[in-house]
Amino acid sequence: MADAADRTCDVLIVSSSDKMSNYISKVIPDVVYGAVEVRSSASMARRELVSRDYDVIMINIPLADEAATDLAIDISTSHSSAVILVSPADICEDVKERVADHGILVIPKPVNRALVSRAVRFMCAIRDKYKKAEKKAQTLEEKMDEIRIVNRAKLILIETEHMSEDDAHRYIGKQAMDRGVSRGVISREIISLQKASD
């Protein structure tokens, strides 16, 4: 697994407090290598998220224009970013209860360098695992698509060339090997030729 020095993790800090955003901005570059952006309101953060994805979004409670928990829940449900809420200690348990089902990490104030560092590293690691799972799912989906296309091409060969299923399978495989392309490419060509002749 990649260590922090190898990890690229883009972080968005949403905080109405300049003091808190400056503090967190100074800690995060020690933890991850990637972009660190700061927005001072929920509306600015929402605009930012329209044009760009972030791995981790750290939101400081309170925000001036919207409940930070509402923003965190919305981001958590509509984006793939990991979300951290920084909460005043006196309401921290209530905040945790409100956001627990959304996979949002809540850390209490006052924060220190070690706590921020661990929280961001933890969420970056979770985000890395999510990205790997997403990539694996996409690869699996692509393989399933290719299987469907190959099966469709085999059916065309069975119907139009009166091949057996095994012969159609071998034909597609041999054509792919001879031409140095995938079975999906050959199958798409067979399907295209069939459509052109219809």
CATH of the domain at 142: 1.10.10.10
Range of the domain at 75: 11-136
Question: Are 99 and 18 in a shared domain?
Answer: yes
Question: Are 193 and 124 in a shared domain?
Answer: no
Question: Are 51 and 126 in a shared domain?
Answer: yes
User: Rounded to a whole number, what is the distance in angstroms from the first to the last CA of the chain?
Assistant: 53
Tracing tokens 């956001």 back to the chain, one arrives at 99
Q: Domain containing 84 — which CATH number?
A: 3.40.50.2300
Question: Are 74 and 112 in a shared domain?
Answer: yes
Residue 5 lies in a domain: no
pLDDT value for 4: 46
Question: Are 102 and 161 in a shared domain?
Answer: no
- 25 phi and psi, to 5 degrees? -60, -30
Assess contact for 21 and 38: CB atoms under 8 A: yes
- 53 phi and psi, to 5 degrees? -100, 145
Indicate the helix (H) or strand (E) that contains 12.
Answer: strand 11-14
Assess contact for 87 and 61: CB atoms under 8 A: yes
Question: Are 107 and 163 in a shared domain?
Answer: no
> Can you say whether the dihedral through the CA atoms of 58, 62, 65, 69 is positive or negative?
positive
C-alpha distances out from residue 180 to 72, 150, 153, Å: 49, 16, 18
pLDDT value for 102: 95
Beta-carbon count within 10 A of 4 CB = 15
Tracing tokens 């850390």 back to the chain, one arrives at 107
Residue 1 lies in a domain: no
Question: Are 113 and 153 in a shared domain?
Answer: no
pLDDT value for 2: 45
pLDDT value for 30: 63
Domain count for the chain:
2
Question: Are 26 and 119 in a shared domain?
Answer: yes
Question: Are 112 and 38 in a shared domain?
Answer: yes
Domain final position from 90, 108, 136: 136
Question: Are 85 and 181 in a shared domain?
Answer: no
Residue 2 lies in a domain: no
Q: What is the reported pTM?
A: 0.71
Low-confidence ranges of the chain (pLDDT < 50): 1-2, 4-5
Structure tokens, 73 = 């829940």
